[in-house]
Structure 1
Amino acid sequence: MSRNTRLVHATPDEVWSVLADGWLYPLWVVGASRMREVDDHWPEVGAQLHHSVGSWPLLIDDTTEVLEAVPGSLLRVRARAWPGGEAEVLLRLEASGPETEVVIEEDAVTGPGRLVPKPLRDVPLAWRNVETLRRLAYIAERRE
């Protein structure tokens, strides 16, 4: 799994509030371009975000499903972006004084992405998730 960490100048609950608002997903997830629907029980296990990936006019409609959730602490999802495949993403939040250490781990689990050797898969995932955590921090640190 590719692993990135960032210290966010917000509490775990403030970071969680961003993760728990499914409509914000394309603002912080690199590659997600728009939301079509958010299940009412997001981010409970089994809930889905219905999103699109890519750039207009080449958009692919797909979903992300919650596999595990511990409010204020952990969110594990399966993100789909076919025909590219599926990835599991784990976000962990841990208080560090008045701030939060956010760890994101991601790896391909099915599809063509899984055929790429792990060292080659990890490089673009790491780059992408540096920006993903940057965006998540910007939102969490500026939310009222």
Structure 2
Amino acid sequence: MSRNVRVLHCAPEDVFDVLGDGWLYPSWVVGASRMRDVDASWPAHGAELHHSFGVWPLLIDDKTVVEEYDPPRRMVMRARGWPVGEARVFLEVKARGSDCVVRIREEAVAGPGRLVPRALMDMMLHWRNDETLHRLAYLAEGRAVPSEYIVSRGPRVVAGGS
């Protein structure tokens, strides 16, 4: 099972704001190229994302299903990518001061991907998920509200700013 960890400079809730917006999936998941549909119940248990992966004209339509959703701590998805197969993806988020630590674990659970030697699969997934966490960081940190704006009396006025 491939494992990656990254410190993000935002709160766990900021990460789950990104995870909760299914239309952003191809923005942070390496290999996903477009969204076709997002269930209205996303990200509830059993909800589906209908996405494509690959590069045009070689696009394959498939889906990802939520198996567990426990914000702002954990999300488990079953990502389909046939003909390669299916993978279970675990995302775990823990607060660390004003930052958070995001862990992603992924394992092949069905299809030809299960036949690839584990060491080789882990190496490929490690590279892919390192970039996936990098992209997730851009989105979550970009959505984060800087701490100087979180005060009981409203936003801090910066000299020369609006």
TM-score by length of 1: 0.99
- The reply to whether residue 82 of structure 1 matches residue 82 of structure 2 is yes
Question: Residues 60-75 of structure 1: matches in 2 within 5 Å?
Answer: 60-75=60-75
Structure possessing the higher radius of gyration over alpha carbons:
2
Q: Which amino acid aligns with 1:34?
A: R
Runs of 4+ aligned structure 1 residues displaced above 6 Å come to: none
Match of 2:12 in 1: 12
Cα distance in 1, alignment partners of residues 101 and 126 from structure 2: 17
CA RMSD, Structure 1 to Structure 2 (Å): 0.7
| Aligned amino acid, residue 89 of structure 2 | V
Distance in 2 (CA, whole Å) between partners of 1:69 and 1:141 is 21
Q: Which amino acid aligns with 1:122?
A: D
Amino acid in structure 1 at the alignment position of 2:45: V
2:34 is paired with a residue of what secondary structure? strand
2:38 partner letter: V
TM-score normalised to the size of structure 2? 0.88
Q: 1:25-49, CA deviations, whole angstroms, 9 ceiling, x for partnerless residues?
A: 0000000000000001111110000
Gaps of 5+ in 1: none
Corresponding pairs, count: 144
- Calculate percent identity across the aligned residue pairs: 60
Residue correspondence of structure 1 range 38-49 to structure 2 within 5 A: 38-49=38-49
